[in-house]
Amino acid sequence: MSEIASPGQLRAAFLRWALFVVPAILFLGFFSGLFAGSGAGNGWFVGLNKPSLYPPPQVFGIVWTILYLMMGIALTMVITARGASGRGAAIAVFGVQLLLNLAWSPLFFAAHQIGAALVLLVVLDLAIAATVVLFRKVRPLAAWLLLPYLAWALFATVLNWQFLEANPAIEAETAAALNIPAARSI
């Protein structure tokens, strides 16, 4: 068939995908944080020296909810761009950066690997930037929706680095307990 979908059909397809994709991304982000024991209930985290740049804890839940919503909408825009050049690569790179994103909380909060979490964030920053570039080729608005996420990830990278600087003994103790070299000695 060579029929072109009507605007109503395109909107309906977008809504169907959005009703699946947006909650899925929200759930994955929530589950990653819950699994890792992130937040105020984490005794290890409570004991860390907090850098001056560290915002009030309630900011993280609000910001991540908004960012995951925007990520879901952006991904839905790209998924529903049937026939767009570069669509498959854009979706694949989005998946990679999402996996990196979801790995950070368990690495930082559960494994207590501040240095490794910092390395992961640098890789995540690059993956998000690549996703923005690829999304822009498919749907420019989708790329714009990811820019606050990139900005927040860059902020998180700086914050993670400051946690590492403010807690050098913690990183060494954790590495010794796990019988692996500390990030600073690599």
Give residues with Cβ within 8 angstroms of 28, minimum separation 6. Answer: 98, 102
Residue predicted with more confidence, 175 or 104? 104
Distance between CA atoms of residues 157 and 109, nearest Å: 15
What is the pLDDT at residue 186? 44
Contacts of 87 by beta carbon, 8 Å cutoff, 6+ apart: 78, 79, 81, 138
Q: Are 88 and 71 in contact (CB under 8 A)?
A: no
> What is the rounded average pLDDT for all residues in the chain?
90
Portion of the chain with pLDDT greater than 70, in percent: 88
pLDDT band at 39 (very low <50, low <70, confident <90, very high): confident
Which pTM value belongs to this model? 0.88
Secondary structure tally for the chain: helices H, strands E: 7, 0
pLDDT score of 180 more than 70: no
* Inter-residue contact 105 to 160 (CB < 8 Å): no
Is residue 9 scored above 90 in pLDDT? Answer: no
Digit-coded pLDDT (tens) for 42-91:
999 999 999 999 999 999 999 999 999 999 999 999 999 988 999 999 99
What's the CA gap between 47 and 55, in Å, rounded?
16
**Which burial class, exposed, middle or buried, applies to 78 when counting CB atoms under 10 A from its CB (0-12, 13-18, 19+)?**
buried
Nearest to residue 17, comparing CAs of 86, 67, 91?
91
Q: Specify the range with the lowest mean pLDDT, choosing from 27-31, 35-39, 74-78.
A: 35-39
pLDDT of residue 149 exceeding 50? yes
DSSP one-letter string for 86-107: THHHHHHHHHHHHHHHHHHHII
- Using DSSP's 3-state secondary structure scheme, residue 109 falls into helix
> What's the average model confidence in pLDDT over 88-117?
97
Domains and CATH numbers, the chain: 7-185 (1.20.1260.100)
Q: Please write the tens of the pLDDT for every residue from 161-172.
A: 999 999 988 766
Q: Which residues contact residue 46 at a Cβ distance below 8 angstroms, ignoring those fewer than 6 apart?
A: 40
Q: How far is CA 99 from CA 21, 120, 159, in A?
A: 15, 11, 20
The answer to which of 30-34, 151-155, 175-179 has the lowest mean pLDDT is 175-179
